[in-house]
């Protein structure tokens, strides 16, 4: 496995040249465009394998949508959550507002910004601080890493440049989908997107999902089996922005990407996988990471289909 990973990183490193770094926040441009790493946790024996840059920290960005969904489902139950957000994939972009106006007042799904803002608003907690604590606590346990935290610089930039998200949130506030104080919800959302992780952290989180919600290293139950199943389903249908359908055909495993360059992937009952590669393709997914996952899926027959 170790050799396979090394080979795949070598072979696909060239694609990073064609990619581009996320640039809407200056701090994201500090990433090293060449970086490409993959980390795999085999849940059968709890062995770990890796290749490339697996200890570089980056912000979780959209991958936090998975976290928000898990906690919102666990807190509120499936019916309450899906009363506020649909689970239909959409071929439109992740921050489209047309989706909200043309068809339905509910966001299409929890993997687009509008939907994730809603799930974040549904997380329990008396105060914003308490809610953030619960999010951080979940991620720390799911990654077996107590040092997980918010990157303050990125958070401040997100907040400063977050007007499109503000637009989405006020739109949903105006039609009753979003409740509570908009700026507070957004603040929590921006913090959640600014949590720092490594490819290793993501691989462990993926291992928990692959293991039906239970940590392979400590047998701690982090989510119910049903929540775990729902999350995997939505990752497949909506996890890779508007390239989700193509990724399902080519790779065929539940995954979620973020513009920080991370990909969280999970092969049910087999592997948790974490990718880091900040060079993105046109859809906003790690360009090298997609290629590595495609090859890995072919080699090991990972597709669930």
CB of 217 to a second copy, least distance (A): 23
**Minimum CB distance to a second copy smaller for 4 or for 97:** 97
| Residue 65 falls in the annotated catalytic set | yes
46 is in an annotated binding site: no
Q: Which is nearer to a second copy, 147 or 163 (CB)?
A: 163
For the CB of residue 247, give the shortest distance to a second copy in the complex, in Å: 9
Least CB distance from residue 264 to a second copy, whole Å?
Answer: 15
C-beta separation of 270 from 42 below 8 A: yes
Among 80, 117, 105, which residue's Cα sits nearest to residue 174?
105
Minimum Å gap between C-beta 239 and a second copy is 11
Per residue, what are the HEC states of 201-268? HHHHHHHHHHCCCECCCCCCECCCHHHHHHHHHHHHHHCCHHHHHHHHHHCCCCEEECCCCEEEEEEC
Q: Which of 130, 131, 148 is nearest to 139 (CA)?
A: 148
62 given a catalytic annotation: yes
Is 165 known to sit in a ligand binding site?
yes
Residue 110 C-beta: closest distance to a second copy, Å = 10
Closer to a second copy at the Cβ: 35 or 242? 242
Considering the candidates 67, 197, 251, 259, report the single residue annotated as catalytic.
259
All residues at 6 or more sequence positions from 32 whose CB lies less than 8 Å from its CB, including other chains: 53, 56, 278
How far CA 250 is from CA of 156, 175, 210, 264, in Å, comes to 37, 38, 19, 16
For 2, half-sphere exposure in the C-beta direction (CA atoms, 13 angstrom radius) is: 3
271 is in an annotated binding site: no
Measured from the CB atom, the residue of 125 and 245 that comes closer to a second copy is 245
Establish whether 15 is an annotated binding residue: no
Whether 259 is catalytic is yes
Please confirm, yes or no, whether 241 is among the known catalytic residues: yes
Give the strand order in the sheet containing 271-276. 47-52, 37-42, 271-276, 262-267, 255-257
Whose tokens are 């720092």? That residue is: 196
Q: Which of 13, 65, 191, 232 is catalytic?
A: 65
Pick between residue 136 and residue 214 the one whose CB is nearest to a second copy: 214
Is 113 a known ligand-binding residue?
A: yes
What are the backbone dihedrals phi and psi of residue 227, each rounded to the nearest 5 degrees, phi first?
-60, -45
Catalytic residue among 49, 62, 66, 185: 62
Structure tokens at 39: 């980390």
- Whether 24 is catalytic is no
Angle at 214 between CA 207 and CA 148, to 5 degrees: 65
Contact residues for a second copy, defined by CB under 8 A: 86-92, 96-103, 108-109, 161, 163-164, 166-171, 173-175, 182, 229-230, 232-234, 236-238, 242-246, 248-249, 252, 254, 268, 303-305
Active site residues: 62, 65, 189, 241, 259
Q: Where is the binding site for substrate, in residues?
A: 62, 113, 158, 165, 189, 241, 259
């Amino acid at each position: 496995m170790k050799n396979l990973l090394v080979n795949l990183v070598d072979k696909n490193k060239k694609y990073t040249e064609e990619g581009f770094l996320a640039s809407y926040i200056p701090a994201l441009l500090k990433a090293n465009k060449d970086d490409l790493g993959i980390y795999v946790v085999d849940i059968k024996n709890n062995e770990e394998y890796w290749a490339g840059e697996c200890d570089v920290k980056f912000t979780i960005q959209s991958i936090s949508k998975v976290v928000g969904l898990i906690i919102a489902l666990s807190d509120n139950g499936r019916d309450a959550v899906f009363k506020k957000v649909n689970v239909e994939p959409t071929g439109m972009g992740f921050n489209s507002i047309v989706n909200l106006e043309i068809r339905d007042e509910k966001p299409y799904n929890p993997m687009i910004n509008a939907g994730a803002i809603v799930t974040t608003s549904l997380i329990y907690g008396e105060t914003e601080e308490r809610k953030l604590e619960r999010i951080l606590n979940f991620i720390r346990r799911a990654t077996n890493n107590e040092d997980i935290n918010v990157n303050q610089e990125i958070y401040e930039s997100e907040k400063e440049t977050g007007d499109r998200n503000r637009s989405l949130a006020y739109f949903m506030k105006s039609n009753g989908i979003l409740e509570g104080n908009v700026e507070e919800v957004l603040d929590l959302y921006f913090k959640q997107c600014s949590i720092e992780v490594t490819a290793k952290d993501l691989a462990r989180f993926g291992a928990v999902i692959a293991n039906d919600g239970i940590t392979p290293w400590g047998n701690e139950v982090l989510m119910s089996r049903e929540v775990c199943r729902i999350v995997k389903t939505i990752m497949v249908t909506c996890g890779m922005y508007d390239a989700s359908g193509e990724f399902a055909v080519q790779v065929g495993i539940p995954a979620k990407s973020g513009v920080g360059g991370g990909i969280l992937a999970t092969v049910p009952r087999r592997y948790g996988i974490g990718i880091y590669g900040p060079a993105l393709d046109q859809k906003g997914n790690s360009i090298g990471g997609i290629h590595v996952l495609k090859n890995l899926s072919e080699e090991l027959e990972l597709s669930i289909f």
